[in-house]
C-alpha cells in the first residue's frame, strides 16, 4: 500500500494533484475483453443491413440494434467495474476532448450503413461484406481514441484547475 | 467562478480526494481513489466522512457478491468549492513562482556564475500560512 508520505514532500499541492490525476487516468485502460466485445458488437451492427436480404420479408432489423445496445451497456458497466471509474454521460453537445471522436464514430457508422444498403440493393454482396469489415476495422481505433480522450480528460482535470 | 480558499478542502488529503473527484469522472470507486491519492483505507474513510458531512461528497455503498463496494462523487456544492479552491491555489502558485523569478533576477552574480537558489519556492503551505499584509 502506497502512503501519502511516499510522495515527494516538496511537491506543491497542485503539482501533487497532477501526479495523482495521472495515476487515476492510468487506471482508465480497457481490458482485452472490452475491445474484443466491442469488435463483436460492431460486427453485429454492420451485419444488420444483410438482414433485409436474407431474412424473410416482414422480419424487422431493430432487435439486432437493441441487442447490440444492450451488449454495449453491459460492456460499459463491466469497464466501470474493472477500472473503478464511471465517466459521466456525454452527448455530442457537451464540450469534451472525446467529442471529435464521437462524431467520427457516428459518421463512420452512418456512412458504412448507407454504403452497405446501397451495395446490397445493387447486388455486389462481396463489396458489401468488404464495406462492413472495413467499417468494423475503422471503428476500433476510434473507440480506442475515445478511451484515450477520456484518459486525457482525467489527467487534465476535466476543466478544474 | 470565484477563486477563494476553502478551509475544509485545504488539508492535503482532502484536497487530493476532492481534486481527483473533480477530474472529470462521475463516480470513483474506493480502491481507485485510494490508490490514486496514495492514502490508506482508514484515512480515506475518515476524510471522506468529513467531506460527506459537509455536503461536498456523495457516497454510494453497494456490494458485488460478498465484496462491499463504495463509490464517491462530488456534489454540486463540492464541485464549486473545489474549483474555487483550485483556482485560488493556481493563483498562489503563480504568485510564488513570479516572486521566486524576481528574487533570482535581483540576486547579484559574482564572477558571472549563476548561483542556485538556497531554497526552492515550492513550499506553498508556508506562503499560504504567512500573515497577509494589506
Domain B12-107+117-129 adopts which CATH fold?
Answer: Arc Repressor Mutant, subunit A (1.10.10)
Smallest Cα distance from B92 to chain A, Å: 10
Domain ranges of chain A: 29-151
Cα distances (Å, whole numbers) of residue B61 to A133, B27, B71: 43, 12, 6
Q: Do A81 and B89 touch (CB under 8 A)?
A: no
Which residues of chain A does B38 touch, with a Cβ-Cβ cutoff of 8 Å? 2-4, 6-7, 20, 23
Higher-confidence residue of B106 and B57: namely: B57
Whether the ipTM is more than 0.90: the answer is: no
Which of B5-19, B97-111, B119-133 has the lowest average pLDDT?
Answer: B119-133
Domain ranges of chain B: 12-107+117-129
Cα distances (Å, whole numbers) of residue B79 to A80, A160, B64, B106: 22, 9, 28, 40
Q: DSSP readout, chain A?
A: ---GGGS-TTS-HHHHHHHHHHHHHHT----HHHHHHHHHHHHHHHHGGGHHHHSPTT--SHHHHHHHHHHHHHHHHHHHHHHSEEPPP--TTS--TTHHHHHHHHHHHHHHHHHHHHHHHHS-HHHHHHHHHHHHHHHHHHHHHHHHHHHHHHHHTTT--
Cα distances (Å, whole numbers) of residue B51 to A37, A75, B18, B71, B104: 38, 32, 9, 14, 40
Rounded to whole angstroms, the Cα distance separating A41 from A72 reads 7
Contact B134, B106 (CB under 8 A): no
Contact B92, B114 (CB under 8 A): no
- pTM score of the predicted model: 0.75
Which of A32-36, A57-61, A111-115 has the lowest average pLDDT?
Answer: A57-61
User: Helix, strand, or coil here: B134?
Assistant: coil
- Residue B82 in contact with partner chain A when CB distance is under 8 A: yes
**Residue found by looking up cell 457516497 in the block:** B59
Contact B128, A17 (CB under 8 A): no
Q: Do A4 and B37 touch (CB under 8 A)?
A: yes
Contact B124, B99 (CB under 8 A): no
Sheet strands side by side (includes B67-74): A85-86, B27-29, B67-74, B57-64
Rounded to whole angstroms, the Cα distance separating B33 from B23 reads 11
- Looking at residue B66, its pLDDT comes to 79
Angle (CA) A28-A33-A35 rounded to 5° is 70
Q: Do A27 and B36 touch (CB under 8 A)?
A: yes
Q: Residues B111-125: what's their mean pLDDT?
A: 51
Q: Do B89 and A88 touch (CB under 8 A)?
A: no
- Looking at residue A125, its pLDDT comes to 83
- Residue A14 in contact with partner chain B when CB distance is under 8 A: yes
Label residue A71 by pLDDT band (50, 70, 90): very high
Label residue A89 by pLDDT band (50, 70, 90): confident
Q: Residues A121-145: what's their mean pLDDT?
A: 89
Amino acid at each position: 500500500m502506497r502512503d501519502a508520505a511516499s510522495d515527494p514532500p516538496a511537491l506543491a499541492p497542485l503539482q501533487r494533484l497532477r501526479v495523482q490525476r495521472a495515476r487515476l487516468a492510468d487506471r482508465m485502460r480497457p481490458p482485452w475483453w472490452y475491445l474484443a466485445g466491442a469488435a463483436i458488437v460492431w460486427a453485429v451492427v454492420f451485419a444488420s443491413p444483410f438482414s433485409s436480404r436474407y431474412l424473410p420479408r416482414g422480419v424487422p432489423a431493430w432487435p439486432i440494434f437493441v441487442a447490440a445496445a444492450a451488449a454495449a451497456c453491459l460492456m460499459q458497466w463491466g469497464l466501470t467495474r474493472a477500472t473503478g471509474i464511471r465517466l459521466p454521460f456525454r452527448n455530442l453537445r457537451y464540450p469534451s476532448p472525446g467529442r471529435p471522436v464521437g462524431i467520427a464514430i457516428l459518421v463512420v457508422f452512418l456512412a458504412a450503413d448507407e454504403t452497405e444498403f446501397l451495395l446490397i440493393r445493387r447486388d455486389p454482396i462481396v463489396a458489401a461484406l468488404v464495406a462492413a469489415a472495413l467499417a468494423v476495422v475503422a471503428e476500433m481505433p476510434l473507440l480506442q481514441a475515445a478511451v484515450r480522450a477520456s484518459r486525457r480528460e482525467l489527467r487534465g482535470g476535466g476543466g478544474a484547475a | 467562478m470565484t477563486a477563494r480558499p476553502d478551509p475544509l478542502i485545504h488539508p492535503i488529503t482532502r484536497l487530493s480526494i476532492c481534486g481527483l473527484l473533480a477530474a472529470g469522472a462521475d463516480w470513483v470507486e474506493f480502491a481507485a481513489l485510494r490508490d490514486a491519492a496514495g492514502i490508506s483505507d482508514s484515512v480515506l474513510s475518515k476524510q471522506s466522512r468529513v467531506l460527506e458531512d459537509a455536503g461536498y461528497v456523495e457516497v454510494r455503498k453497494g456490494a458485488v457478491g460478498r465484496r462491499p463496494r463504495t463509490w464517491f462523487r462530488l456534489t454540486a456544492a463540492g464541485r464549486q468549492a473545489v474549483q474555487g479552491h483550485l483556482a485560488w491555489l493556481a493563483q498562489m502558485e503563480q504568485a510564488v513562482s513570479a516572486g521566486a523569478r524576481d528574487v533570482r533576477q535581483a540576486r547579484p552574480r559574482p564572477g558571472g556564475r549563476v548561483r542556485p537558489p538556497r531554497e526552492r519556492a515550492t513550499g506553498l503551505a508556508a506562503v499560504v500560512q504567512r500573515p497577509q499584509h494589506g
